[in-house]
Amino acid sequence: MGNCAGHTQAASVLRRPGDDLLSRAGFDEVVAHIAGINQAITESHKALRANERASALELQPSDAAREAAIRDVGRAQLHAREARAALKRQLGSDTWKTLKRQYQPRKAEIESSLAEARTYWIDAIHKGDVAPAEAAETAQIWDQGAEALRKRGVDGAFAFLDEHFGQLEHHLTAEQDFGRQAHSPLEWWQWLIIAVIVGVAVAVLVACLIWAGCSWIYSIFVALCWGTGLIGGWSGVCLGFTF
């Protein structure tokens, strides 16, 4: 009981500054939609596997289970659309207009913060429950998100998020096996969930530096782990963060 209480307290301490940054940066709604996507896809795939298992065992598959799975991915697509709308509102907000103006003079410091964040990311992948081939691909996603920021600043970070939320809508269809097709080696849905998590982390890193001197980079990841539910597409990485 004591260990459990200590774990909960540590999580609260590490998570709070990250939660504050996400909220102040206006990403609460986006993170909530990512959690909704993650949960809906996880439930959908569970129902699909049960149906496929029934067929493999020569049992009667359930039409209702497949229909429920389709409804779940539809819910995930809706969350993705709403997340894109929320991002558009944030990019046009006074908060992010100000951060965009302050980005260029702080670019060298942001590069240093990106390097520090990448160290945390790689360490979590190494410590987490991630298969070796998937670990390499998960590391590459961070580099792609960081490069979007380097090339186009805040606009690039938001464009990276918008693009990958849009791809979620495309891949969560029956024609694409509900996101389960291989991206190599991650499944597409896993790759896209991790990509939008990275996109949020990279964007909030800018706010972290400008507002707080980037004292709480690690806490951003902890807050994202808890905020998105510790399930689904990137839960293996979350296991590598100590909280």
Assess if residue 176 is contained within a domain: yes
The count of structural domains within the chain is: 1
Q: 3-state DSSP call for residue 173? A: coil
Assess if residue 47 is contained within a domain: no
Assess if residue 209 is contained within a domain: yes
Residue 105, number of CB atoms within 10 A of its CB: 9
Give the C-alpha separation, 136 to 105, whole Å.
Answer: 33
According to the model, what pLDDT value does residue 10 have? 59
According to the model, what pLDDT value does residue 13 have? 82
According to the model, what pLDDT value does residue 9 have? 58
The answer to whether residues 203 and 151 touch, using CB atoms and an 8 Å cutoff, is: no
Going residue by residue through the chain, which has 243 residues, state the pLDDT in tens, using 9 for 90 and above: 334 344 455 567 889 999 999 999 999 999 999 999 999 999 999 999 999 999 999 998 888 888 999 999 999 999 999 999 999 999 999 999 999 999 999 999 999 999 999 999 999 999 998 999 999 999 999 999 999 999 999 999 999 999 999 999 899 998 999 999 999 899 999 999 999 999 999 999 999 999 988 788 999 999 999 999 887 778 899 999 865
Assess if residue 30 is contained within a domain: yes
According to the model, what pLDDT value does residue 83 have? 98
According to the model, what pLDDT value does residue 215 have? 85
Assess if residue 197 is contained within a domain: yes
Give the C-alpha separation, 111 to 141, whole Å.
Answer: 17
Give residue 90's domain range: 11-39+76-238
Assess if residue 98 is contained within a domain: yes
Assess if residue 114 is contained within a domain: yes
Residue 185 preceded by cis peptide, ω within 30: yes
pTM listed for this prediction? 0.92
DSSP conformation letters of 69-119: HHHHHHHHHHHHHHHHHHHHHHHTSHHHHHHHHHHGGGHHHHHHHHHHHHH
Assess if residue 175 is contained within a domain: yes
